[in-house]
């Protein structure tokens, strides 16, 4: 066979892409099964919007975590940062922190966006510097960051929960697009009333999807993005190939911090409140989503479209369990712990599935190269 | 600088605490030549390479490069690359999760974005021009090791290097892959690249190189034209032993070695690290594997003990076929193995002398039936006395003992299991001369008095000749001969290593 002929051949999918397709396939399968067996709720398009609205902030920090994990690092502080910014933002928008009299609500919100980004960048820079330049374990560094953020959240808040109720900014933040034709009629059997519930499209969805697109472009099209993969694939080799490893690792953490800052604002935007335990364990959800989406904890492999679907898969579990508990014989599912247990089961299932897929692939490859050898030799 | 010379190193010296690693070494590389750098363990090959690539700073001497005025000082591998000195290491230093094209260009592109199309086009042209069978968009991990190696070379060539250092590039390649690599090396040579080829495969040196520089104990032995240096002379220069006349000893006179029955026999035994080989040892025999560094001596005995993953072959012990797939099975069959690297595979430095001594026996007995303190102490004291181990007490951590005494502790560990067959891989390396002789005497005593079979490996050929009654000679991972009786002379061993001796005397 000539060299030219093999060139035009289509390359097999990379592991990143393959694992992403597995995640997308699983999501579609899960949704179809829900449609078949659980019915009503899943037939409503508004369910998709609800999932996206609720999980927008998770998608954003998931993107950040994917970058960090591709680089072979980890960031467990992002949930804490989201909680901190949500709490700070709630107080800030109620003019309880840094009040500037006579400031227009819109301007106040814009200012909060800037501050959120700044807080996120500050955390990211601190983590990145310690991890990349002082070579400290990222787990420890970001664990410290998480404690710091959670501590500051408690310090800021006198109470458990700070709501935006009554604030003039609430009106702006509550804006959303109602899509009546994608809505549904809710029938109240006791009062014999029918109310039309439109589908809600919150702007946080745009923020989340823009992040996915931006990070996807960064990872695939930019030199920095490829350096993330190189450093995660083999740090020593990357160094020998002339990649600035320290700067690359620093930037991974910086971007993760930045995205956590944005996610904090998005969280407040959607929930309209900050609370002490806000976004608790969000970092674990994000890590799980990244893994389900095909990002390997060992580094070098992953992509954000997969992460998006990872978030969606985990997000599907809640309505599935809720709807299933309404079925006859499945009432026991209404207990709250079942969601967690199913989360764990899905994550576990995915890790096994991925390792099976990758192993099957490598044996296939060995067999193929053996075949080629016998043909040519 | 003389015409056609790309690199001159003169009088290079470098010392590390306690050793003079390089002592006034000269090295000259000409344009378009493949220059083999040869030497045994501790000869200073890798030190010389590291001086050249900026990993070590030299104490004395000058380095001159074609096109660079004056002598140069190289501070880092990156600086070496800028000066046109590229190195391709044995371990692939590329990223397996990126494409071939990315591996060729990452880290040396300008701008913010990746020009995928241009990069793939350039990569295709580069791979084509060098005849490398890889596709630009292929994942590097899907290429064979040889192709990965060649991609690394392509990258080095593309950075306009004048000096290309190939450090043991063929160690993990099979014969066909080696051929591919050699073809590439010859192409590069034709383009005027000077190649420094570090290897321990004699045949490959003769197949591909134009010139050979031999180092020994940090000193220059000489620079030779490959064509005018017979293999046996090369071996003698590397080992530092003069050939005492060309006495071709007539085939085996002493047949008495075949006296006792065979204790252990392997047919076509192979492991993940070694090629299939046949081997046997008789009761009470001391034999040895000999050969140059990297010839596969240790790999063979590791296969016998199943220290590496055994991949095939048949093993017969005491007339019965046994399957030895794990070290514990070897131990249960009465085989003991004293590893080459005692720090890594042998001692457990923080445990006491006593615990280290009883370890192997304890493993065989099972950890849930521990020895009583008293029994353990009795065992330990017995062997501390028998082997004259110099330790404050049996409670002393082994790490605080001298190298020779550490080695005795490991020896004691195996003797305690009363093996029928004991393998000693470099038991005397790095220990003082007194202990060395003690260990040699012990080996002979064990075989004569207790009828133990022993396989002995040492880099020092005199030691092998003194202790072994039969030597298995290895070259380039193959057994190339077997010497016994009056054949056991230095000359004969060197002839056999160089491929000029009698092929198997039995």
Do the domain assignments include residue A69?
yes
In a domain, B258, yes or no: no
Same domain, B153 and B285: no
- Residue at a domain's end among B178, B210, B229: B229
Q: Which residues neighbour A316 within 8 Å (Cβ) at sequence distance 6 or greater?
A: A27, A30, A31, A34, A51
Using DSSP bridges, classify how beta strands B310-317 and B320-322 pair: parallel, antiparallel or unpaired: antiparallel
ipTM for this prediction? 0.85
Ranges of chain B with pLDDT below 70: 1-2, 41, 243-259, 500-506
Q: Is A347's Cβ below 8 Å from some Cβ in B?
A: no
Which residues of chain B does A222 touch, with a Cβ-Cβ cutoff of 8 Å? 112-114
Indicate if B357 and B439 belong to the same structural domain.
yes
The verdict on a CB contact (< 8 Å) between A222 and B113 is yes
Q: Which helix (H) or strand (E) holds B102?
A: helix B100-105
A196-207: b or e for each residue (b if 16 or more CB lie within 10 Å)? eebbbbbbbbeb
- The backbone torsions φ and ψ at residue A327, rounded to the nearest 5 degrees and listed phi first, read -75, 155
Tell me the pTM: 0.78
Q: What CATH number should be reported for the domain holding residue A41?
A: 1.10.3470
Q: Are B164 and B47 members of one domain? A: yes
Contact B77 A222 (CB under 8 A): no
Strand-pair category, A161-163 with A176-188: unpaired
Q: Which residues of B touch A14 (CB under 8 A)?
A: 139
Q: What 8-state DSSP symbol labels residue B293?
A: T
Which of A26, A98, A58 has its CA nearest to residue A262?
A58
The angle that helices B145-158 and B116-130 make with each other, rounded to 10 degrees, is 100
pLDDT value, residue B293? 76
Q: A182: which strand partners?
A: none
Q: Which helix (H) or strand (E) holds B322?
A: strand B320-322
Does A222 contact B176 at a Cβ distance shorter than 8 Å?
A: no
CB atoms within 10 A of CB A46: 18
Does B183 lie in the same domain as B47?
yes
Beta strands in A192-295 (DSSP E): 193-202, 273-275
Tokens of B65: 């490069």
Interchain CB distance below 8 Å, A234 and B94: yes
For chain A, give the percent of residues with pLDDT over 90: 56
Residues A301-312: tens digit of each pLDDT: 999 999 999 999
Could you give the number of structural domains in chain B? 2
- The B-side interface with A (CB below 8 A) comprises 77-78, 81, 92-98, 102-103, 106-109, 111-114, 116, 124, 127-128, 133, 135-139, 142, 144, 155, 176
Which of B108, B124, B142 is nearest residue A365 as measured by Cβ atoms? B142
Q: Is residue A109 part of a domain?
A: yes
Q: Does A377 map to a domain?
A: no
CA atoms within 13 A on the CB side of B70: 3
* Cβ-based contacts of A227 with chain B (< 8 Å): 106-107
Interface touch A222/B112, C-beta < 8 Å: yes
Q: Looking at B159-253, which runs of residues are DSSP E strands?
A: 163-167, 194-198, 211-216, 219-225
- Asked if A12 has any chain B CB less than 8 Å from its own CB, the reply is yes
- Cβ of A233 within 8 Å of Cβ of B102? The answer is no
- Asked if the model's pLDDT at residue A347 lies above 80, the reply is yes
CB contact under 8 A, A7 and B98: no
Please judge whether A221 and B92 are an interchain contact, meaning their C-beta atoms are less than 8 angstroms apart.
no
Q: B248 to chain A nearest CA, in Å?
A: 41
Q: Is A191 exposed, middle or buried (0-12, 13-18, 19+ CB in 10 A)?
A: exposed
Instruction: Render pLDDT for A178-217 as a digit per residue (tens, 0 to 9).
Output: 888 888 887 777 888 888 888 889 999 999 999 999 999 9
Of B94, B95, B133, the CB nearest to A3: B133
Indicate the pLDDT class of residue A5, thresholds 50, 70 and 90.
very low
**Interface with chain B: mutation pick from A13, A217, A237, A358, highest number of B CBs within 10 Å:** A237
Q: Contact at 8 Å (CB) between A164 and A27?
A: no
Supply the angle between the helices A45-70 and A78-93 in degrees, to the nearest 10: 120
In this structure, is residue A345 part of a structural domain? Answer: no
Tens digit of each residue's pLDDT (9 = 90 or more) over B325-370: 999 899 889 999 988 877 777 788 888 999 999 888 888 888 788 8
Domain total of chain A: 1
CB contact under 8 A, B139 and A14: yes
Positive or negative torsion for Cα A98, A102, A106, A110: negative
DSSP state of B71: B
pLDDT in tens, B202-256: 888 999 999 999 998 889 999 999 999 888 888 888 877 776 544 333 333 344 4
User: Residue B356: inside a domain, yes or no?
Assistant: yes
Do residue B21 and residue B141 come from a single domain? yes
Same domain? For B369 and B484 the reply is: yes
DSSP B460-504: -HHHHHHH-SEEEEEETTEEEEEEEGGG-SHHHHHHHHHT-S-S-
pLDDT at A116: 97
* Mutate: best of B101, B104, B106, partner A, most A CBs <10 A: B106
What is the token pair recorded at A311? 């978030």
**B contacts of A296 (beta carbons < 8 Å):** none
Q: Tell me which of B229, B259, B293 is where a domain ends.
A: B229
Please determine, for residue A4, whether its predicted confidence score (pLDDT) is greater than 50.
no
The answer to the question of residue B324 being in a domain is yes
Judged by a CB distance cut-off of 8 A, whether residue A11 touches chain B is yes
Note whether B115 and B34 are same-domain residues: yes
Q: What is the pLDDT of residue B488?
A: 84
In this structure, the number of other CB atoms found within 10 A of the CB of residue B94 comes to: 28
CATH (domain of B481): 3.40.50.300
Count of C-beta atoms within a 10 Å radius of residue B229: 18
Asked if A9 is an interface residue toward chain B (Cβ–Cβ < 8 A), one would say yes
Between chains, do B97 and A229 touch, taking CB under 8 Å as contact?
yes
Q: Which residue of chain A comes nearest to B137, CA vs CA?
A: A11
Task: Based on the fold, state whether residues B115 and B199 are members of the same structural domain.
Answer: yes
Six-digit token string for B418: 């009363």
Alpha-carbon span A309 to A261, nearest angstrom:
22
**Exposure pattern of B176-199 as b/e (b: 16+ CB <10 Å)?**
ebbebbbebbeebbeeebbbbbbb
Q: Is residue B234 part of a domain?
A: no
Q: Do B106 and A241 touch (CB under 8 A)?
A: yes
Terminal alpha carbon distance of chain A: 12
Domain-located, residue A29? yes
Q: Please indicate if any CB of chain B lies within 8 Å of the CB of A240.
A: yes
Q: Looking at A20-24, A341-345, B133-137, B175-179, which range is the least confident one?
A: B175-179
Q: Which domain holds residue A223?
A: 3-335
* B484 and B378 assigned to the same domain: yes
Cα A78 to its chain centre, rounded Å, is 10
Residues 192 through 221 of chain A touching chain B, CB cutoff 8 Å: 220-221
**Contact between A223 and B97 using a beta-carbon 8 Å cutoff:** no
Segment B170-202, tens digit of pLDDT: 877 777 888 888 999 999 999 889 999 998 788
State which residue of chain A sits closest to B91, comparing Cα positions. A237
Contact A226/B114, CB-based, under 8 Å? yes
Cβ contact B142–A242 (<8 Å): no
Mutate to test the interface with A, among B80, B98, B118, B167 (most CBs of A within 10 A): B98
- For B484, phi then psi, to 5°, come to -155, 170
CB contact under 8 A, A11 and B107: no
Of B94, B92, B96, B97, nearest in space to B105 by CA? B94
Residues of A within 8 A of B176 (CB-CB) are 377
Residue A239 lies in a domain: yes
Residue A343 maps to a domain: no
For the four alpha carbons of B271, B276, B280 and B281, in that order, the dihedral sign comes to negative
Please tell me whether residues B215 and B303 are part of one structural domain. no
Q: Looking at chain B, which residue has its C-alpha nearest residue A370?
A: B144
Q: For residue A272, tell me if it sits in a domain.
A: yes
Interface contact A359, partner B, CB < 8 A: no
d(CA B15, CA A6): 52
* Smallest Cα distance from A235 to chain B, Å: 8
Domain that holds residue B439: 268-498
pLDDT given for residue B46 in this prediction: 85
Contact: A243, B97; criterion CB under 8 Å:
no
A9:B135 CB<8 A: yes
Determine the Cα angle at A242 with ends A248 and B56, to 5°: 120
How many CB atoms neighbour CB A226 within 10 A? 26
Nearest Cα of chain A lies from the Cα of B180 at a distance, in angstroms, of 14
**Would the CB atoms of B106 and A6 count as touching at under 8 Å?**
no
Last residue of a domain, one of B205, B229, B253: B229
Q: Are residues B198 and B283 in the same domain?
A: no
Place of tokens 């096109």: B67
**Between A150 and B241, residue with greater pLDDT:** A150
């Amino acid at each position: 066979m000539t060299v030219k002929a093999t060139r035009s051949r289509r390359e097999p999918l990379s592991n990143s892409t393959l694992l992403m397709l597995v995640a997308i396939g699983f999501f579609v399968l899960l949704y179809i099964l829900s449609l078949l067996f659980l019915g009503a709720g899943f037939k409503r398009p508004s369910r998709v919007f609800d999932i996206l609205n609720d999980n927008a902030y998770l998608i954003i920090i998931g993107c950040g975590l994917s970058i960090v994990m591709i680089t072979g690092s980890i960031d467990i502080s992002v949930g804490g940062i989201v909680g901190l910014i949500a709490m700070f933002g709630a107080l800030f928008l109620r003019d309880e922190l840094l009040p500037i009299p006579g400031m227009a609500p819109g301007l106040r919100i814009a200012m909060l966006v800037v501050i959120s980004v700044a807080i996120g960048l500050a955390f990211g820079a601190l983590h990145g510097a310690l991890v990349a330049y002082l070579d400290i374990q990222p787990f420890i560094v970001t664990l410290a960051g998480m404690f710091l953020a959670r501590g500051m959240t408690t310090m800021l808040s006198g109470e458990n929960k700070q709501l935006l109720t009554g604030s003039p900014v609430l009106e702006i933040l509550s804006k959303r697009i109602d899509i009546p034709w994608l809505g549904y009629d809710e029938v109240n059997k006791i009062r014999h009333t029918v109310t039309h519930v439109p589908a809600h499209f919150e702007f946080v969805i745009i923020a989340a999807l823009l992040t996915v697109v931006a990070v996807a472009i960064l990872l695939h099209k930019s030199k920095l993005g490829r350096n993330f993969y190189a450093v995660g694939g083999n740090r020593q080799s990357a160094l020998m190939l002339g990649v600035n490893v320290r700067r690359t690792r620093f930037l991974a953490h910086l971007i993760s911090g930045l995205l956590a800052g944005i996610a904090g604002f998005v969280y407040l935007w959607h929930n309209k409140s900050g609370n002490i335990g806000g976004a608790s364990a969000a970092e674990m959800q994000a890590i799980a989503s990244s893994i389900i989406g095909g990002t390997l904890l060992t580094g070098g492999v992953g992509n954000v479209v997969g992460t998006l679907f990872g978030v969606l898969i985990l997000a599907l579990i809640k309505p599935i369990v809720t709807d299933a508990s309404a079925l006859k014989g499945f009432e026991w599912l209404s207990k709250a712990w079942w969601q967690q247990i199913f989360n764990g089961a899905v994550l576990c299932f995915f890790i096994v599935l991925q390792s099976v897929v990758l192993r099957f692939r490598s044996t296939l490859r060995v067999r193929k190269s053996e075949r080629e050898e016998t043909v040519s030799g | 600088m003389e015409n056609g010379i790309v690199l001159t190193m003169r009088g290079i010296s470098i010392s590390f605490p306690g050793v003079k690693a390089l002592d006034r070494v000269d090295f000259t590389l000409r344009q378009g030549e493949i220059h083999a750098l040869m030497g045994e363990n501790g000869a200073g090959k890798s030190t010389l390479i590291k001086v050249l690539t900026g990993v070590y700073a030299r104490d004395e001497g000058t380095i001159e490069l074609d096109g660079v005025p004056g002598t140069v000082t190289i501070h880092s591998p990156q600086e070496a690359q800028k000066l046109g000195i590229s190195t391709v290491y044995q371990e692939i230093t590329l990223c397996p999760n990126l494409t071939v094209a990315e591996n060729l260009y990452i880290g040396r592109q300008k701008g913010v974005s990746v020009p995928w199309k241009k990069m793939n086009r350039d990569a295709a042209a580069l791979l084509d021009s060098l005849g490398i069978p890889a596709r630009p968009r292929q994942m590097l991990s899907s290429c064979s090791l040889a192709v990965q190696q060649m991609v690394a070379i392509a990258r080095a060539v593309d950075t306009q290097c004048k000096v290309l250092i190939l450090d043991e590039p063929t160690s993990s390649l099979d014969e066909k892959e080696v051929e591919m690599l050699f073809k590439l090396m010859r192409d590069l040579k034709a383009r005027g690249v000077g190649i420094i080829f570090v290897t321990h495969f004699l045949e490959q040196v003769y197949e591909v190189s134009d010139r050979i520089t031999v180092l020994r104990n940090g000193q220059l032995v000489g620079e030779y034209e490959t064509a005018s240096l017979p293999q046996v002379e090369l071996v003698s220069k590397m080992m530092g032993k003069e050939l005492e006349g060309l006495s071709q000893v007539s085939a085996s006179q002493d047949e008495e070695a075949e006296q006792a029955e065979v204790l252990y026999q392997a047919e076509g035994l192979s492991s993940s690290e070694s090629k299939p080989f046949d081997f046997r040892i008789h009761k009470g025999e001391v034999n040895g594997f000999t050969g140059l560094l990297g010839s596969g001596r240790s790999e063979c005995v590791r296969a016998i003990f199943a220290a590496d993953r055994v991949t095939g072959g048949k093993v017969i012990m005491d007339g019965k076929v046994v399957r030895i797939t794990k070290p514990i099975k070897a131990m249960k069959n009465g085989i003991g193995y004293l590893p080459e690297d005692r720090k890594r595979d042998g001692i457990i430095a923080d445990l006491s002398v006593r615990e280290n001594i009883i370890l192997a026996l304890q493993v065989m007995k099972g950890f849930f039936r521990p020895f009583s303190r008293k029994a353990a102490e009795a065992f330990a004291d017995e062997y501390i006395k028998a082997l004259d181990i110099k330790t404050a007490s049996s409670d002393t951590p082994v790490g605080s003992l001298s190298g020779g005494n550490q080695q005795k502790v490991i020896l004691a560990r195996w003797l305690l299991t009363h093996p029928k067959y004991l393998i000693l891989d470099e038991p005397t390396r790095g220990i003082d001369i007194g202990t060395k002789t003690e260990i040699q005497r012990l080996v002979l005593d064990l075989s004569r008095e207790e009828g133990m079979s022993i396989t002995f490996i040492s880099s020092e050929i005199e030691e092998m000749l003194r202790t072994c009654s039969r030597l298995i000679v290895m070259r380039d991972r193959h057994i190339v001969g077997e010497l016994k009786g009056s054949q056991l002379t230095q000359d004969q061993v060197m002839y056999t290593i160089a491929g000029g001796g009698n092929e198997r005397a039995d």
